[in-house]
Amino acid sequence: MSEETLDIPLFPLQVVLFPGMALPLHIFEERYRWMIADCLEGKRQIGVILAKPEAEGTVTAYSIGTSALIAHVDEQEDGTMDILTAGLDRFRVLHLLRTEPYIVGRIEWFPLEKKEAPGAVRLANKAKTPFARYLRLVSEVLGTTIHIESAPKDPTDLAYLMAIALQVSMEEKQELLSIPSLPALLWRECLILSREEMLLSRMQRAQRSNTGYVRGITSDLSIN
């Protein structure tokens, strides 16, 4: 194993974790309780990967994921755990080392490329206004309030924040996580914001013209 690779427990979930994202988890399966217990004795890190639909009881997942720090553990009387994790760095799974009692894979880090490119700063500045409009429409149309004190100045932080906040499918979020460079990620997010703003604006007009239109359940999402 080289310095660029690492062996890490892998946790397939129905969620895409991004760097900087907080992810609370309820751990109830015995194998994953063993995994968390083992991690607490080491570097307190797991690798979160998006699970694909199961086929005949087998678990498959995408190869690009994000390492997560286990920041807090609350053990319950029944042996289950409530944990809080925080996304750290992107990685690519090279191959699996074992699948029992839990999955362990050999990974290599997958950092964003071209983070200092002039185009990244221009795209980040271009995205801030449509991102603010998108957040307003999500609140008004979908009833989901996303609290963000201020848009990050750093283009990388902004790109990940937008990826976390976008109310799109997990498959599309996985596509964002897999984009190699920062300018390409910001460009893709600008396209998604344009698409989603158009769709949400249509939904808003429909709501205003139809008093019988049912809006989704109001929820509250905070991003630190």
Nearest to 136 by CA among 218, 68, 197: 197
Query: How many Å apart are CA 173 and CA 182, to the nearest integer?
Result: 15
Q: What is the pLDDT of residues 72-127, one digit of tens each?
A: 999 999 989 999 999 999 999 999 998 889 999 999 999 999 999 999 999 999 99
Higher pLDDT among residues 133 and 57, named by residue? 133
**pTM listed for this prediction:** 0.88
Higher pLDDT, residue 57 or 18: 18
Nearest alpha carbon to residue 48 among 75, 21, 79 = 21
* Contact criterion met (CB below 8 Å) for 104 and 9: yes
* Domains of the chain with CATH codes: 5-109 (2.30.130.40), 118-222 (no CATH)
Average pLDDT of every residue of the chain: 89
Q: Which of 45-54, 88-97, 167-176 bottoms out in mean pLDDT, i.e. has the lowest?
A: 45-54
